[in-house]
Structure 1
C-alpha cells in the first residue's frame, strides 16, 4: 500500500500529468459544445458526447505513457537530475511489484479523469435528450484500457515519443486503423476500434462487435502488450 501511495504521489507530481488532465476534461467538453447545435438540427445524434470522449482519450494516452517514461527522464521534482528508475528499484526491488503499483496508480488517476470528463461532457448534451449516462462505464473502461495500452508500448520502447506520436495521431488526426478496415475486415479487431463498441452505437465498420466482445478484444490486446512489456522490463538493465 505504501508503494502504491508513493507511485500515486510521484505520478501526480509530474507537470505533464496535469496537462493530460486539462486535455482530457476540456477537449471533449469543448468539442461537444461546438457540435451540439449542429447535432440538434440533424434530429439528434445518439453518440453526441461519446464521439467527443473518444478524442478526449488523448489525456489518458499521455498519462499511460508518462507513468512509464518518466522513470527514464528527468521530468518532475523527484528525478533528482538523473533517471528515476534507479531510485524506484532501490525502494521497491521487485520489478513485478513496482510495475503493478505503478499501473495501479495510473489506473486510479485515469479512471477518475474519465469519470469527471464524461460527467462534464454528458451534462452539456443532456438538455438535448441524447445523452446516456448508462454508457459511462464503457467510456471509463475504454480510457483505462487505452492508458494501459500506452504503458505497454512505452515499456517496450523505454521512450515516450514513439507511443505518444503513434497513438495520438491515430486517435485525433489520421485514424490509420479505420482506414485499414477499407482493406480488410480484420482491422475492426484493432484495440481502438474494438474498444469504441463499448460506448459508441453508430460506427461504420465491416464487422459489428457487441460492447462486451469489443471490450474483451481490447482487453486481450492490452494483456498481450503488458505481458511483453513486463518481460522486456524484467530482462534488461535499469
Structure 2
C-alpha cells in the first residue's frame, strides 16, 4: 500500500479500534489460481502484551470454499479492514475559490493485517466462535437471537458446513488519509462540509479530519 509519511497511522489502539468497529474484512490469499478475496466477519483478540504478534483474527468459511484447503500450502494472508470513507469535492476548500488549484479526492481510513492462516477444523472451535460473533452482532437488537433459539440438530448441521480459521497477525499497517497535507483552512472547510451531511461515513471522516494532526 502506498504510504506517504503524513498518512501513516501506527498507534496500536487506533488500529485495534477500527478492526473492532469494522469487523467485516476482505481476506486476501494466493492460491493455485492466483490471488483470491473472501469477505467474512472477523473476531479480533487484542494482544495481551507487546511482542512479535499483533493480535489474533478468527473467522469461519464455508466448508465448500477451497480457501481453507489452499491455505495449508500457502498460509500467508492479508486481511483488509475498511473504515469510513468519503468523497472530497474541490469546492469545499476555501483556497479553490481563490486560485482554483484543487482537485477531487477520497479521504479514508484502512487497516491491513498481515499474518498466516491456521485451519481450525473442529466443532468446538467453530461453535465458540459463532456464539461469540453472534453475541456481538446481535447486541443491539431488542431481542437478540442466540444459537439456542434453533433446534440443536440444525445448529450442529450448520456448524458442520463451516471451517474455522485463525490468523496470527504479524504486522498491522494503518493509513489515515485525512487531508493532513492540506492547509489548515482547506482541511477545516472540507471537514465541516462533511459534518453537515447526513451520512454516518461522511460525518466520521469529517470528525477524523478535524482530529488528525497536520503534516506541516
Fold match, TM over 0.5? no
Report which of the two structures shows the higher radius of gyration computed on alpha carbons. Answer: 2
**TM-score where L is the length of structure 2:** 0.23
Higher helix share: 1
Higher percent of residues as strand: 2
